[in-house]
Structure 1
């Protein structure tokens, strides 16, 4: 299967270090965005370890991806314990493994995956966040999620706990499908209707990517921002 891919990453306008990382392995059908956890030490190390480990996989299968991320998780837990200090070194991860039969989405945290098909934008991932858990429990309305004081609290990440819980879901893939992977530095600033409009325009993927980065920067870009766009040929 052939792909057209475009990726962008930017430190944003408020942060000094870009803790995001991305991976594009078109030949293997593997695409990943990792967002080092803001406010924690060495978030850039955590996201880099994820993409380096996945980039080095000889066999790219769902089982190998899960095992790889589990190994990275253990390594980050060990790293966090060095020196006897209690700290967290972690990163969200969202990825796609695409072949002729299916598109497999895997994730931990609040970096997101979307599919655009037939003028519809469909979320493939669900945020592992405190706010999303409150929404699913019916305790707050989705429309008020952005106002919640704990809107940046995530409940899963690579390196956040001794055992990594990775969500994995598979779906049909069709020629012409466009997939978007993005860190929350993008999705917090560009709502889903705008993402759908951008992906549904007559622009090239390069123009779409540049337009999304421009939109985030115009709105202050308080966080690092990273995106990967994939069109299935």
Structure 2
């Protein structure tokens, strides 16, 4: 199977540094977005280490072997970031969320830690493949918060899992299938907090990948772009 891919990243209108990093290996069927955690020191270092580690994964042809290698790399980076944060003796966190997608044949694997998201558009229907590791998602899961209340919740930016935050990182993996014409989106929360799912579906339903990517970034900028915004679009052909 072949893929078309475009990616975009923008610092936004409020932040000085872009702490997001992208990893694109279309020839391997592997892509990832890492979002350095805002307010933490060296978030760009954390996301950069994640992207580099995934970029350098050894060549394997089985999708589950690839995910095992990616997970092992993230666990290693998790340890490195914790040690780096402790290096000067000051209490701090150097962390990043991550979401990745691997496709081999008709099989897909989505892997993530945090609230960066993966979506699939098929037949005009947008499905979120990942599930946020966040405080508000836990409240929704417990029935204490309605899904439509989550977006504007005052603690909507609190993540419960990320690389570099805890000694015991658990990377979540979801399996699925891929069909010709599927369009996948990986995105940092700088996009998904500003553009709701129904608008994502509408924008992704027409145009070239470059046009879609540019429209999504422009929407975020029009709405103030309070955070870095990064996305990867992958179409199966």
For normalisation by structure 1, the TM-score amounts to: 0.98
Aligned to 1:164: 169
Deviations, residues 28-60 of structure 1 (Å, cap 9, x unaligned): 100000000000000000000000011011135
Aligned to 2:93: 88
Aligned to 2:32: 32
Aligned to 1:181: 186
Q: Distance in 2 between matches of 1:116 and 1:135?
A: 24
Aligned to 2:63: none
Deviation at 1:147, TM superposition (A): 2.7
Deviation at 1:134, TM superposition (A): 0.4
Farther-moved stretch of structure 1 (214-223 vs 141-150): 141-150
SS in 2 for 1:144: helix
Q: Please show how residues 82-231 of structure 1 align to structure 2 within 5 Å.
A: 82-201=87-206, 203-231=207-235
Q: Distance in 2 between matches of 1:64 and 1:146?
A: 33
Matched, 1:232 2:236: yes
Deviation at 1:164, TM superposition (A): 1.0
Deviation at 1:149, TM superposition (A): 1.5
Q: Please show how residues 57-72 of structure 1 align to structure 2 within 5 Å.
A: 57-60=57-60, 61-72=66-77
Q: Distance in 2 between matches of 1:178 and 1:50?
A: 24
Stretches of 4+ aligned residues off by more than 4 angstroms? none
Deviation at 1:63, TM superposition (A): 1.0
Q: Where does structure 1 lack aligned partners over 5 or more consecutive residues?
A: none
Q: Please show how residues 20-59 of structure 1 align to structure 2 within 5 Å.
A: 20-59=20-59
Aligned to 1:13: 13
SS in 1 for 2:5: strand
Q: Where does structure 2 lack aligned partners over 5 or more consecutive residues?
A: 61-65
Q: What RMSD over aligned residues (CA atoms) do the two structures have, in Å?
A: 0.8
Deviation at 1:95, TM superposition (A): 0.4
SS in 2 for 1:115: strand
Q: Distance in 2 between matches of 1:147 and 1:6?
A: 30
Deviation at 1:2, TM superposition (A): 1.0
Number of positions where the alignment pairs a residue of Structure 1 with one of Structure 2: 232
Deviations, residues 100-124 of structure 1 (Å, cap 9, x unaligned): 0311000000000000001100000
SS in 1 for 2:151: helix
